[in-house]
Amino acid sequence: MIVILSNEYFIIVRQAKNKNTATTKTFCRRKEARPSEIMKAALEEFSLNGFAATKLNDVAKRAGICKGTIYLYFKSKEELFEEVIKDRLLPNLEKMEYIGELSRGSAKDILREQLSTIYVALLSTDARHIPKLIIGEGSRFPELTEFYYKEIISRLYNIINTVIKQGVEAGEFRQSALNWKTQVIMSPVLSAVIWKTVFDEYAPMDLDAYLETHIELLLHGLEK
Q: Flag whether 8 is in a domain.
A: no
Torsion angle of C-alpha atoms 202, 54, 134, 197, degrees rounded to 10: -10
* pLDDT in single tens digits along all 224 residues of the chain: 434 444 443 334 444 444 444 444 434 544 454 899 999 999 999 999 999 999 999 999 999 999 999 999 999 999 999 999 999 999 999 999 999 999 889 999 999 999 999 999 999 999 999 999 999 999 999 999 999 999 999 999 999 999 999 999 999 999 999 999 999 999 999 999 999 989 999 999 999 999 999 999 999 999 98
- The b/e string for 130-154 (b: 16+ C-beta within 10 A; e otherwise) is bbbbbeebbeebeebbebbeebbbe
pLDDT, tens digit (0-9, with 9 covering 90-100), for 25-61: 434 544 454 899 999 999 999 999 999 999 999 999 9
Decide if 9 is inside a domain: no
Residue 43, burial from CB neighbour count under 10 angstroms (0-12, 13-18, 19+): buried
Same domain, yes or no: 25 and 133: no
2 located within any domain: no
User: Is the four-CA dihedral 112, 115, 155, 177 of positive or negative sign?
Assistant: positive
One domain, residues 66 and 112: no
Is 5 among the domain residues? Answer: no
Distance CA 3, CA 15 (A): 21
Print burial letters for 50-87: b (CB count within 10 Å at least 16), e (below 16). Answer: ebeebebebbbebbebbbebbeeebeebeebbbbbbee
CA distance 136 to 201: 20
Q: Are residues 63 and 92 in the same domain?
A: no
> Is the CB of residue 62 less than 8 Å from the CB of residue 48?
no
pLDDT at residue 15 in the model:
47
86 within 8 A of 75, measured Cβ to Cβ:
no
Residue 56's domain is classified under what CATH number? Answer: 1.10.10
Q: Evaluate whether residue 199 is within a structural domain.
A: yes
| Residues of the domain holding 27 | 16-70
> Is the domain of 113 the same as that of 185?
yes
Q: What is the pLDDT, as a whole number, of residue 16?
A: 45
* Strand partners for 130: none
Residue 103 lies in a domain: yes
CATH (domain of 146): 1.10.357.10
**94 and 23 within one domain:** no
The tally of domains found in the chain comes to 2
Both 99 and 198 in a single domain? yes
Distances (CA, A) of 52 to 8, 55, 85, 148: 48, 8, 16, 16
Q: Are residues 62 and 96 in the same domain?
A: no
76 domain residue, yes or no = no
* Residue 7 placed within a domain: no
